[in-house]
Structure formats: C-alpha cells, structure tokens
Amino acid sequence: MSRCHSMPPASQNPRKRRQHSMLAPHTRSVTLLRHSSRALLLTTLLSLPTSHSFSLPSIPSSPPSNPAHDPTGERLVKTQLLHYQTSNLSDAYLLCSPWNQEATGSLQDFEELVKTPPYDLILGHERADIMMEVLPDKPKGGQNEGTQAACYLVCIKPGKNARKRYPVWFWWEVSRHFLEDEDGDLVDNDVEGEWRVDCVMPDFEDLDFEAESLAQYLGDEEEEDDDDFDGMTFYLDFGL
C-alpha cells in the first residue's frame, strides 16, 4: 500500500502531493463533473443497474483464488479489502506491486503504515463498497490488449471500535505487472501480467475527516489546473 490509492467523486483538482509508499509514486487522481460533456456521460451511466458493493455478511470466509488473473482489477481490490477487514496484513502486502512494496518498505513497515491515520480506518472496517471504476480508453485503431490499469473509488465504513464512525473514501490504483524470477524469466510464463495494487490514497475532496493527518501528503506547490480528461472513461455503480 503506498501513500499517494487508489478514490466521493471529486469536483476540484487536488494539490500536488509528495509521493509516499502504501500508495505508490506514479498515482494520478481524477476529477469529475468539470465539463458538461462529462456530466452528460456520468448522467447516462448512473442508470446502470450493476452493483459493486459488498459488506461483512456477504464476504466469503476465504479470498477467491487467482484474483490477479481476472479480466479487471476489481476482484483484486475486493480481495485486499477482505485482508484489511480481517487484519491479514501479510497477505494484503503480497497483493501490492513491486513498486509499491519498494516504496513502502518491509512487511513491518507496511503494518506500521496501515495502523497510522488515515489508513487505520481501513483496518477492520465494517463495510466496503466499490462505487466507481475508472479505466483508460483504448487508443483509436490500436489493438485490444485488454485492460492494463484501473482506479477504483471505495467507500469505507470503519469498524465499531474505530476513532471515526462515518464513511470515508479511498482510491485504489491497480495495474498489471509482469513478474520475473531471479533469472529474469516470467513467472509461470505469464504473458498477460498479474494485477497488483500500486497505490491506495484517501480522496482529497473528503478532507474534513482527516485534515490534519493528510497535511503531510500536501506539498508547497501550486494547485494543478489540468482539466483534460481525454482518454479516461468513468463507470459509476451504486449498490447501497
């Protein structure tokens, strides 16, 4: 988990952030409803009936096998959320990408990071809902090589003993990685790559819940003014 994550929908551009681990160094955040064309797209997608929510009673007792080879990264996010809910941090760490693990440090460093604000609200959470998926658009005229990266906006309801009891929001950023062994060969001849979590970060539009804790992630740079969302498709799903 690197400090950057991974996503409520944003209406303003967040400031530039220093890159940290639990959430990884190449994370990009997204902003919604900035232009009327995007608003029209989102209004259309709101009518979709698909639900991507899950809560404690419906979570399986064990994570699904090989979520890393799914067509999308959604099951990987759900699997890691299950590990956080059950405090299985060693397995949650294994689902982080090599970049993420390098930025985070050892498993012990990872465990300490997860227990610090604002990420401590994820640990032992009561409910998690994937509210939105953001996928890069395929290049025009390009070959269909499958989805290689995605971002997921997750609404977290902290556990009963958490210091906060109202829902908080995080982004999960995932991508496919080609894992190599010591000889430089692809693990299991994997030519498609495996899904791994590159970054988890709090949604910077929801600053009220952790204003002081998030101050460490904000740099002194001026705010970005990037309104160009070309090449991104937003999928919103409401399952509450």
Q: Which of 34-48, 168-182, 207-221 shows the highest mean pLDDT? A: 168-182
Residue 16's pLDDT band (cuts 50, 70, 90): very low
Q: Which of 19-33, 76-90, 196-210 shows the highest mean pLDDT? A: 76-90
CA distance 74 to 25: 21
Share the mean pLDDT of the chain: 67
Inform me whether the pLDDT recorded for 214 exceeds 90: no
Model pTM greater than 0.75?
Answer: no
Reference 101, options 170, 38, 24; nearest CA is 24
Residue 101's pLDDT band (cuts 50, 70, 90): very high
pLDDT score for 132: 93
Q: For residue 119, give every residue at least 6 positions away whose Cβ sits within 8 Å of its Cβ, in sequence order, or none.
A: 1, 22, 113, 200
Inform me whether the pLDDT recorded for 69 exceeds 80: no
Residue 179's pLDDT band (cuts 50, 70, 90): low
User: What average pLDDT score do residues 5-22 get?
Assistant: 39
Summarised one tens digit per residue, pLDDT across range 182-192 is 665 555 545 56
pLDDT score for 34: 30
The DSSP-derived string for 17-66 is B---SBB-TT------S-SHHHHHHHHHHTT-----EEEGGGS-SSPPS-
Residue 178's pLDDT band (cuts 50, 70, 90): confident
CA–CA distances in Å: residue 154 to residues 109, 144, 145, 219: 24, 27, 26, 24
Inform me whether the pLDDT recorded for 167 exceeds 70: yes
Lookup: tokens for 207 = 């600053």
Lookup: tokens for 191 = 């030519």
pLDDT score for 70: 73
pLDDT score for 183: 62
Residue 39's pLDDT band (cuts 50, 70, 90): very low
